[in-house]
Structure 1
Amino acid sequence: MAARRPHATAPIQASFASFGVNAALIRALAREGVEAPFPIQAATLPDSLAGRDVLGRGRTGSGKTYAFVLPVLDRLAASASPRRPGRPRALILAPTRELATQITASIRPLADALSLRTLTIFGGVSPAGQIRELRAGVDIVVACPGRLDDHVRSGHVRLDAVEVTVLDEADHMADLGFLPVVRRLLTLTPRGGQRLLFSATLDAAVDALVRQFLVDPVVHSVDSSLSPVAKMTHHVLHVDRLDRLPVLVDLVAAPGRTLVFTRTKRGAKMLARRLCAAGVPATELHGDLAQNARTRNLLAFSEGTARTLVATDIAARGIHVDDVTLVVHADPPVEHKAYLHRSGRTARAGAEGTVVTLMTDDQVADVRDLVRKAGIAPTTTRLRSGDPLLARIAPGQRSFVAPSPEPQTAAEPTARTRTRRPTQPSQSRGSRGWSGSGLPAVATDRGGADGRAGAGRAGAASGRGSAGGTRAGAGSARGGAAAAPSSAAAFSGRARVGTRHGGR
């Protein structure tokens, strides 16, 4: 196989029409508010539209999705091959359910303009609907490797008619251990088919995949994964452990959407509850949630019913919600790539954004090493809760909601908004995780984010370092303060994730 060779980047000022993109696609893009290509799109489209294998690298938020969606749709629109049951003509592989869903959201309005059918395949849901649609015939399958492999083994889908294959976030697939099944799926696609691989980083595992499956690929590296985003501002706030939660509450109570990252699923769950108990509508996203709950919570965040999403690294890649103004690393990540991908949820598509890392005394050395490897030069400040700098980092009037006895829904918010100073919840001294905060333990009931009863009997939840909940479903903190019923992750409703520029 010939060695990969770099290719000159096309002029950023080029238009979709100048590349020969299908006119119906250009009109559909205009309806989505997309008028001109981003740099990685302008760089890769001449080769991908010409049928070349392409290896594209660009940091998160750089517009990789349309860079492969457009050549896939353009090729299928020009192809004379008929749609056949169980034999898709294009395959897009993604590492997570959320990313697969958002790729489909970007494709669907464009595919509809060309009368092409798209199907999303992932686990965590019943396979019956997917099998039914495969039998009816689809043009494009957007899939997570595991569930697609199940359908292949059971004979519900064959990949021998695939004309173009895309691997998105290939480095993340490698991190998650998906490469063996990805290799197995790729060997089932025709050798002469076009293959496009997009990744934020190109490490050894991705390179092995490229050498095995891409033929004389053209490499387009628009920017390094370590390149700083010009409109992204980074802060490290050195805080006492007791001040972590009050500082976080102050930040997320500001106007706009905030994405908060924790290291553990339990930490995300408990922190979302504590933010709700402090009057900040929050929801959660992590691997312990059923798929319908994950979808519902992400939609609530997209719509704005829950203006804060507390998530594990499951949301670090592929999640695009418009206008995320602030990303907070409540728990600093272990390695620098995770920092970059988490931070990339803001300052997308040319927008501005702010990234804040909360750092305690025992994390100083680790955080310094983290930002050095990430190529970031943050502003580091030691502060306490109530510091005026917090209002400059996250400007705007703080607002809180009164506790509600019933969970809110995205479609019908019930909370009454009021303005007051940030609460000053205490934390148990020595508590290391967010589940150890000294806030009141908050009860949940059936109908919460995961569709199950909350932690503890009768839905009562309790955190380490705080008094446990009672069987009646009410919690109490040290000192006997009553807990408010949680609205964490209990939002629902219909909304489009990544409206207008979603997936760019």
Structure 2
Amino acid sequence: MTDADRTSTTHGDATPALPPVASFADLELPAALLRTLGEQEVREPFPIQAATLPNALAGRDVLGRGRTGSGKTLAFGLALLARTAGRRAEPKQPLALILVPTRELAQQVTEALAPYAEALRLRLATVVGGMSIGRQAAQLREGAEVVVATPGRLHDLIDRKACRLARVRITVLDEADQMCDMGFLPQVTEALDQVPADGQRMLFSATLDQDVDGLVRRYLHDPVVHEVDPSAGAVTTMDHHVLVVHGPDRYAVITEIAARDGRVLLFLDTKHSVDQLTKHLRASGVDAAALHSGKSQPQRTRTLAQFKASKITVLVATNVAARGLHVDDLDLVVNVDPPTDPKDYLHRAGRTARAGESGRVVTLVLSGQRREVSRLMGEAGIEATVTKVRSGEAQLSRITGARKPSGVPLDGGPAAPKAKNHNAPFRGIGTSKDASRGTGGTGGKSRKSGEARKLAEARRAARVRREG
């Protein structure tokens, strides 16, 4: 079944969908948009664009289901701009609204649509947290036909009476499942309750769980449904690997992967660990930068721009980069900290192998994490190749392109300490760090002496507590 074949009429849809088109020229788009598509070297529509644009241009509600990277921004954006062209917004009253879950995605959508909006002389306003709300209110006061917003900041502007949605005729929910996962459902429904009920709605989501399905049933009328790439794990150009590493060798492995020839996106769980690893990598001579919610919006925007332009080669990030981030030719994503949720894995993985390109997803695990990660992979529908690796080994280089870093600090100051256990064999917990003691029958004596030391230390600690 092709992508176009999956265009359907579910959720109570009684109206047949219009057939997909073969080219943008087959669509009733303004000449200015067709000209700009050529200038942007956008030659042929992606499947989701070919299938949904005829219906969106006709004013139909659209439900698009698929991972990011499928071309959905232009799928909803071209129709929204074409149907808004020629109209002028009054102060504080936009004509079209695009809701997205993160600042990064808002910026990306704005950048993608800006040349087309300019060609039609439509004004775009981006309203997100982390930026001056006063400036954003002033931009809305001057008038903007299209607003790209995160739910929280839009809610704040509505509360300040700086934005009114009574004249919005087209509403788009992009990455609806993530907005629900992040707790934005009340703000999303608040916005949808304020736009006219007879307006056009387009909703795009990677999954249709209970909350998203509730939005579809409540707010979409007779929608055209289109599915494309339902799972990041199903992309045939994406390889999945689980690399089993020894604990003390972990930083050395990560550093060598980061020093590869080419860009890499590293995912960790916390802001602190992102900052710590970034500092270590830069001290090792690796051009890395950090991205997380603790950074200001200008910092985040600048870091993403540098990564996309290859001015930095390593982006160390929390899950803030797991959705909506589009980087051309990014062929490696590494889960330094394994995700705990199958959806998180799929969204992290979706940063590579985009738009038909190939990519590789690597997850680093300690021996004790293998069972849990195996369960998660199964729930995500992923079959991964499991390999035990050590720093400096050919296996690690073959899978990730890892190589030895220069060791020259990028920000001055001392070089990073030399990684421990470089090429040392894997050992069980509690065994001696001196490999030579594990041979010649002395291992038992080593273990006994270690146990005796621990017992003596425990007795000393107890005595100190009693005397203190």
* Interval containing the TM-score (normalised by the shorter chain): 0.7 to 0.9
Alignment of 1:268-417 (within 5 A): 268-395=274-401, 400=406, 402-405=408-411
Work out the CA distance in 2 between the residues paired with 1:5 and 1:386: 61
Percent identical among aligned pairs is 50
- 1:59 corresponds to which of 47, 57, 67: 67
Mapped to 2, the partners of 1:169 and 1:351 lie a distance apart of: 22
User: What is the TM-score normalised by the length of structure 1?
Assistant: 0.78
Give yes or no for contact 1:226–1:375 (8 Å, CA) kept in 2.
no
CA distance in structure 2 between the partners assigned to 1:198 and 1:387 by the alignment: 43
Counterpart of 1:223 in structure 2 is: 229
In structure 1, stretches of 5+ residues that fail to align are: 408-421, 428-504
2:177 corresponds to: 171
**Is 1:86–1:158's contact at 8 Å kept on the other side of the alignment?**
yes
Structure index of larger Rg: 2
What CA distance in whole angstroms lies between the structure 1 residues aligned with 2:65 and 2:348? 17
Structure 1's 227 and 359: CA in aligned 2 closer, same or farther, altered over 3 A? Answer: closer
Q: After TM superposition, give the deviation of residue 423 of structure 1 in Å.
A: 8.9
How far off is 1:222 after superposition? 2.1
With over 3 angstroms needed to count, the CA separation of the structure-2 counterparts of 1:243 and 1:185, relative to structure 1, is: same
Aligned length: 411
Separation (CA, whole Å) in 2 of partners of 1:349 and 1:33: 15
By how many angstroms is 1:391 displaced?
Answer: 2.0
- Give 1:186's aligned amino acid: L
1:25 corresponds to which of 14, 18, 33: 33
Which of 184, 187, 198 aligns to 2:193? It is: 187
Question: Alpha carbons of 1:36 and 1:399: their partners in 2 closer, same or farther (altered >3 Å)?
Answer: farther
Provide, for residues 109-133 of structure 1, a one-character-per-residue CA deviation record: whole Å limited to 9, x for no partner. Answer: 1111111110000111111211111
Structure 1 residue 149: deviation in Å? 1.1
Q: Is the 8 Å Cα contact of residues 249 and 423 (structure 1) preserved in structure 2?
A: no
Name the amino acid aligned to 1:425: A
Kept in 2, the 8 Å contact 1:40–1:58? The answer is no
C-alpha separation between the residues in 2 aligned to 1:396 and 1:385? Answer: 9
- Structure (1/2) with the larger helix percentage: 2
Partner of 1:83: 89
Counterpart for residue 426 of structure 1: 420
Deviation, structure 1 residue 370: 1.2
Query: How far is 1:18 from its partner?
Result: 1.2
Alignment of 1:72 with 2:100, yes or no, is no
In structure 2, distance between residues paired with 1:195 and 1:145:
16
> CA–CA distance in 2 between the matches of 1:343 and 1:10?
32
| 2:256 is aligned with 1:256 | no
Equivalent residue letter for 1:354 = R
8 Å Cα contact 1:17/1:23 also seen in 2 = no
RMSD: 2.3
Within the candidate set 9, 12, 15, 1:3 is matched to 12
Q: Report the counterpart of residue 34 of structure 1 in structure 2.
A: 42
Alignment of 1:193-232 (within 5 A): 193-225=199-231, 227-232=233-238
Alignment of 1:138-177 (within 5 A): 138-177=144-183
Task: Give the 3 Å change call, closer, same or farther, for CA 6–425 of structure 1 in structure 2.
Answer: farther
1:14 to 9, 16, 22: 22
Q: TM-score, normalised by structure 2?
A: 0.83
Instruction: State whether residues 163 and 194 of structure 1, in contact with CA within 8 Å, keep that contact through their aligned partners in structure 2.
Output: yes
CA spacing shift, 1:121–1:195, aligned 2, 3 Å:
same
3-state DSSP of counterpart to 1:237: strand
* One-letter code aligned to 1:211: R
Q: Which amino acid aligns with 1:94?
A: V
